[in-house]
Amino acid sequence: MSQGEYLQFGGMAVVEGVMMRSPHYWAVACRAPSGQIVVKTEPLEQTWIGRQKWLKKPFLRGTLAMLDTMALGSRAMNFASNVQLEAESAGTKKTKTLDNATLVLTLVVSLAFGFVVFKLGPEAIAQWLRPGEKDHQGTGTNYLAELIKIVFFIGYLMLIRRLPAILEVFKYHGAEHKAINAVEANEGLSVATAQAQTRLHPRCGTNFAIIVLLVGLLLFPLIPRFGQSDAPMALVVLIRLGIELCILPFIAGISYEIIRAAGKAKDQRWVNVLLKPGLMTQFITTEEPEEKHLEVAVASLEAVLLAEENGTVTNIPYDPAFGTAPATA
């Protein structure tokens, strides 16, 4: 099977590395402080939620994909973080690692932060700015809340981009896109072919987030803001959040179908027009990678390509002496 037949790759940047996934495998490659590229490859597990066929239907599979990406991304970040911690503790008696409890706690805190900043905050601010709106349905307040969400999201990305550590992750993000683009363009996979590609990609998670926000801007304001004229502000906001959380899976489903269709026709002009806001936002969430970033992205994508081709699973464990040869199974 030629490389060009692999049409559905995904991935994400992690600490000093890149995670890639293909239809049946996933791999994460990261660079240890010694310069060694460490690789872990595994088959994709068929979890209970992944076996629910009804969740794979159009407009439902978006939520499934989102949950699956969060779970797989957490595992990849855990592995990459542990490589850095093992390198730091090399030569000492005690090895530092992140356990599952720490990973779950980090994920919960991250989700809580995102909920407060990008959901609760905008809704509360909009309600505070427009108390007792004459329109009892609260349409104006709804539009204001959705606009604040977009401003907060873009502002947050621009703010964290100023952090050197985050900018480094964004370079790996750009490398991930370039490697995938090289394979999907049938250019072969190497640092040179990847470097020649654009760092933008229509199936990027940034695109998904922007489309979710824009679809929300179109649909959420049409839903009445219950209790707008006479209920306490806190109650109005809480009711609104409950309604939006119930509808969010459908918003995610619509957005996922748009991304899915765009990914299959990314060379079409309509795709660039439709996804222009998300593609432009990728100039914030990606950065032109250096050769060292591309080497890691290529190693990760090569691992899933090899596994899909003949079932060979490549694993290169961390070696303090930086001399370990690939172990295959």
| Residue range 13-47, pLDDT digits in tens | 999 999 999 888 999 999 998 899 999 999 987 55
Q: How far apart are CA 84 and CA 97, in angstroms?
A: 9
Q: Return left, alpha or beta for 16; rule: phi > 0 is left, psi -120 to 50 is alpha, else beta.
A: left
DSSP string, 99-117: -HHHHHHHHHHHHHHHHII
Residue 297 has pLDDT above 80, yes or no: yes
CB 294 within 8 A of CB 175: yes
| Residue range 255-274, pLDDT digits in tens | 888 887 776 776 677 777 88
Q: At a CB cut-off of 8 Å and minimum separation 6, what does 94 contact?
A: none
pLDDT for 116: 87
Domain residue limits, the chain? 3-328
| Residue range 181-205, pLDDT digits in tens | 999 999 999 999 999 999 999 888 8
CB 326 within 8 A of CB 39: yes
Element (H or E) spanning 123, and its range? helix 121-129
Q: Which of 224, 227, 230, 180 is nearest to 200 (CA)?
A: 180
- 133 falls in which pLDDT band (50, 70, 90)? low
Question: Facing residues of 316 across strands?
Answer: 39
Residue 319 has pLDDT above 90, yes or no: no
Of 139-148, 168-177, 242-251, 316-325, minimum mean pLDDT range = 316-325
DSSP string, 21-35: E-SSEEEEEEE-TTS
pTM of the full structure: 0.86
Q: How far apart are CA 189 and CA 211, in angstroms?
A: 30
pLDDT for 293: 97
Helices 276-285 and 205-219 pack at an angle, to 10 degrees, of 130
Q: At a CB cut-off of 8 Å and minimum separation 6, what does 114 contact?
A: none
